[in-house]
Amino acid sequence: MGRYVAGRIAQAVLVVIAAWTVAYLIVYALPGDPISIMLAGSGGDSGYIDPGAANKLRRELGLDRPFPVGYMDALWGLLRGDLGISVSSGMPVAARLTAALPPTLALGALAVTIAVVGGAVIAFAASAARAGWVREALLALPPLAGSAPTFWVGLLLVQFFSFRLGLLPAFGDRGWQSLVLPALTLAVPAAAALAQVLVTSLHKAQGESFVHTARATGASRMRTLVRHAGRAAAAAPLTVLGQVVGGIVAGAVVVETVFSRRGIGRLTADAVANQDLPVVLGVVVLAAAAFVIVNLLVDLVLPFVDPRIGRARVRGAGR
């Protein structure tokens, strides 16, 4: 088991490095001069650019040397946790990310919790419903929720809970109350995705022979659904959880803008607006890391949820 975990951690690190490399190639190897892009900023056509400043920035980013040398240097920096200097602020990218991380982490954690609970409740309720129309209504909910633009869901919630009912603050980031609406907004598409995957896997699991056996021994409908089919069906939504969390990181860009919150999402939106490429690359590293960490945790937890997976994997890895 120890060797299996070590191998998986090494693999996760490689994926992060590979994702960063793809983004690095997009940013620095694509036709076009990243230096003039960044100095001009804000998407406009570049006007006059000070050659002295351009050379200084080129040196800082390691772009004055042959491309492979610059890449290796940046890679070495990444491995030491040095993500370069933010062009728009002059601060180290790693410091800016660290400063922006706590509010987004709180937001994301609450959003994932709401999404997992909400998605599971809807999927189990749809599978347990006896009345046809209840079932149809519950099954129609996730595709509808997944089709609504995130920014619109946020504004709708603000409109209703803040302006109509006056229950929660509309904007800003003070106190737990201001966390509720943005987390709910982020959770809607995530819960929709999880519910859709879980509905399909529950349907499949209910046809398994051990579920029929449990039912035949006298276990109630609810008990077989939750204890037997539920455990067998959990693998599918858990394996997409990494992508769902990645989607939440990306969704934070929109949600933190909607709710005027500080955090990684806002930092990303500003970095794209100012074409601050080192910061954008840093956020890519962060999102990829979130993706692989969640996948790693899911892989470690999965054998305890679905015993069939554990036996196959631990035996295979123990050799």
Partner 1 sequence: MTDLLVTGEPSAGRLHAPPPGVRPKVQWRRLVGSPSFLLSVAVLVMVVVWAVVPEAITAGDPLFGDSADRLLPPGADHPFGTDQLGRDVFARFVYGTRTSLYATLVAVGVAAGGGALLGVIAGFAGGVADAVISRVIEVLQAIPGLLLSLTLIAVLGFGTGKIGLAVGISGIPAFARVMRAEVLRIRGSLYVEAARTVGARPSAVLAEHVLPSALGPVVALGILELASAVLAVSALSFLGFGAPPPAPEWGSMVAEGRDYLATAWWLTILPGVAIAAVVVSANRLARGLRPHEASQ
If binding is defined by CB under 8 A, does position 30 make contact with partner 1?
yes
- Give the one residue of 151, 161, 226, 231 binding partner 1; rule: CB under 8 A: 151
Residues 272 to 291: which contact partner 1 by CB under 8 A?
272-273, 275-277, 280-281, 283-284, 287-288, 291
If binding is defined by CB under 8 A, does position 189 make contact with partner 1?
yes
Token pair belonging to 31:
């036709």
- Give the one residue of 57, 193, 225, 238 binding partner 1; rule: CB under 8 A: 193
If binding is defined by CB under 8 A, does position 170 make contact with partner 1?
yes
Residue 110 β-bridge partners: none
Per-residue string for binding with partner 1, 36-75, x by CB under 8 A? -x-----xx-------------------------------
Torsion of CA 308, 313, 318, 319, to 10 degrees: 110
Nearer to partner 1, 113 or 159 (CB): 159
The CA distance from 77 to 82, in Å, is: 5
Angle, helices 277-305 vs 93-128, to 10°: value is 40
If binding is defined by CB under 8 A, does position 240 make contact with partner 1?
yes
In our burial notation (b when 16+ CB lie closer than 10 A, e otherwise), range 15-26 reads ebeebbeebbee
Cβ atoms of residues 261 and 182 within 8 Å: yes
In our burial notation (b when 16+ CB lie closer than 10 A, e otherwise), range 198-230 reads bbebbeebbeeeebeebbeeeeeeeebbeebbb
The CA distance from 203 to 206, in Å, is: 5
If binding is defined by CB under 8 A, does position 250 make contact with partner 1?
yes
Interface contacts to partner 1, rule CB under 8 A? 15-16, 18-19, 22-23, 26-27, 30, 32, 34, 37, 43-44, 143-144, 146-152, 155-156, 158-159, 163, 170, 189-190, 192-193, 196-197, 200-201, 203-204, 207, 236, 240, 243-244, 246-247, 249-251, 253-254, 257-258, 268-269, 271-273, 275-277, 280-281, 283-284, 287-288, 291-292
